[in-house]
Amino acid sequence: MARFVDRVVLHLTAGDGGNGCASIHREKFKPLGGPDGGNGGHGGDIVLEVSSQVHTLLDLHYRPHIKAQRGANGAGDHRNGARGEDLVLEVPAGTVVLNDKGETLADLTSVGMRFIAAQGGFGGLGNAALASSARKAPGFALKGEPGEQHDIILELKSMADVGLVGFPSAGKSSLISVLSAAKPKIGDYPFTTLVPNLGVVEVGHETFTIADVPGLIPGASEGKGLGLDFLRHIERTAVLAHVVDTATLEPGRDPASDIEALEAELAAYQSALDEDTSLGDLRDRPRIIVLNKVDIPEAQELAEFVKEDLEAQFGWPVFIISAVARKGLDPLKYKLLEIVQEARKSRPKEKVENRLIVRPKAVDAKGKGHDFEIHPDPQIEGGFIVTGEKPERWIIQTDFENDEAVGYLADRLNRMGVEDALHKAGARAGCTVSIGPVSFEWEPMTAAGVDPTLTGRGTDIRLSRTERVSAAERKRASQVRRGLIDELDFGEGQTADRERWQG
């Protein structure tokens, strides 16, 4: 028997963006070729798409850790890196996407609907795209951004027109088996059905779908029995059918009390998607009452005796049937079809342009002073923390091994107004400023905007006057530690070991 899975937790990691390339065009008789480093490719997205070929979340249950492809790095000669391939996950219709806080992100109800569950990181710009009047040949490029990484919850809510509710062993599975081609498990003991069953009912040239909920009992909305796990499968149904066992011998059980008990559970069960389904609250759905098992003489007498009382008490149509003997099924099918067709006409038509669901995010919002905030650092005395999407993205994109890239970052932060905001917040020279994962000593005397073309590629005149160790010095210290060069030999007599890469 195939396993039914209607709730999974996915750990998503979208593809990282590729790094940009820092390259200078080199060609014979063209000494000033200019920068030609290409941009890195964007990382692949993780997309959920509704498919008619998928009916459960079983495949995702066995594969919860999902990672999309990384974007390729840029290359010289203006060659951009390839975009990472999007990873499309097929899900059944009726899948609801929740975040780890339980908030609804998307409701996928129609075949073809797509939702970007995790967005890939943007690729870094190459030095060709970073060239300007101040930096005619940048000696650096931007790194790619990491892709989104978070957990989501998928819940499957059956897309059935008719939902069958009733006590255990009321005959719901038997009714589905005779109305449709579905073959659910049938037994003479409670909780025979452990998963919702779905069937297609044909009435002439029309069809509708019907589903049951594993036996509800009083207290199901509080977690008793199996009802709490599967009540979500009747949230989308257009009509609810109470299947009542008229042949039960349990003390204190009768058709009216059974219906009242189940109605109390339905009223207690609240859904976060009532407005999204456009069907209203469960208490407002049309209902019918199905008195089952009248193939037993005593049950037949009881059903005929209470039919008028039930109609007067609840105001719903009452049908007397026997699923085993296939008695009274045609009137029931035609009435269900009538209610379903009325419900379909009253639903708003789905717009085609709404099939693609995305989460719009303003990345380059204009407005100085609105892109970041400055707060005192609670862990470092006299320190400050700069928060904001753009500054944190810029930190990730910066290669801190390259002085020119660090200078470019300083210019970007200055144009945004971070320098002035820190000064107004009371920052002093040498205080610790943290942006994202990076902390540094603030140097307000560093003049942002100084023409950096006066120095070589990969260097910045504003940083050369500081005590910060340069990239060349770090490289030499690494070679000394590995024994590749003599620490005290800086002359022409220095020899390099060609057996190991020198960088």
* 328-364 residue pLDDT tens: 899 999 999 998 888 878 765 555 444 555 554 544 4
Best CA proximity match to 150, nearest among 263, 66, 210: 66
- Residue 194 marked ligand-binding: yes
- Residue 333 marked ligand-binding: no
CA distances from 182 to 169, 210, 252 (A): 18, 10, 33
- Residue 169 marked ligand-binding: yes
Alpha helix segments (H runs only) across 223-316: 227-230, 255-268, 274-277, 297-314
- Residue 173 marked ligand-binding: yes
Q: What is the C-alpha to C-alpha distance for residues 390 and 398, in angstroms, rounded to an integer?
A: 12
Q: What is the C-alpha to C-alpha distance for residues 129 and 138, in angstroms, rounded to an integer?
A: 9
Residue 68 in contact with residue 120, Cβ under 8 Å?
yes
Give φ, ψ of 403 to 5 degrees.
-65, -35
DSSP H/E element including 435:
strand 432-435
- Residue 294 marked ligand-binding: yes
**Strand ranges inside 221-293, DSSP E:** 239-245, 287-292
Domains of the chain: 7-156 (2.70.210.12), 162-348 (3.40.50.300), 373-468 (3.30.300.350)
pLDDT tens digit at each of 503 positions of the chain: 445 567 899 999 999 999 999 999 988 888 778 899 999 999 999 999 998 888 778 889 889 999 999 999 999 999 999 999 999 999 988 888 988 888 888 888 888 889 999 999 999 999 999 998 878 889 899 999 999 999 999 988 776 788 888 887 788 888 888 887 656 544 443 444 446 677 778 888 888 888 877 656 655 445 554 445 556 667 778 888 888 888 887 777 888 888 888 887 777 765 433 444 444 567 678 899 999 888 888 888 898 888 899 989 989 999 999 888 888 899 999 999 998 888 878 765 555 444 555 554 544 444 444 578 999 988 888 889 999 989 999 999 999 888 888 888 888 888 888 888 888 888 888 888 999 888 888 876 555 555 555 566 777 766 665 566 666 777 778 888 888 877 766 666 555 444 444 44
- Residue 213 marked ligand-binding: yes
- Residue 402 marked ligand-binding: no
- Residue 215 marked ligand-binding: yes
Enter the pTM of the model. Answer: 0.68
What's the token pair of residue 70?
């990384």
- Residue 360 marked ligand-binding: no
- Residue 387 marked ligand-binding: no
- Residue 193 marked ligand-binding: yes
Q: What is the C-alpha to C-alpha distance for residues 475 and 473, in angstroms, rounded to an integer?
A: 5
* 476-485 residue pLDDT tens: 788 888 888 7
- Residue 312 marked ligand-binding: no
- Residue 212 marked ligand-binding: yes
Q: What is the C-alpha to C-alpha distance for residues 129 and 106, in angstroms, rounded to an integer?
A: 37
- Residue 244 marked ligand-binding: no
Provide the terminal-to-terminal Cα distance of the chain, rounded to the nearest Å: 60
Quick count: other Cβ atoms within 10 Å of Cβ 415?
12
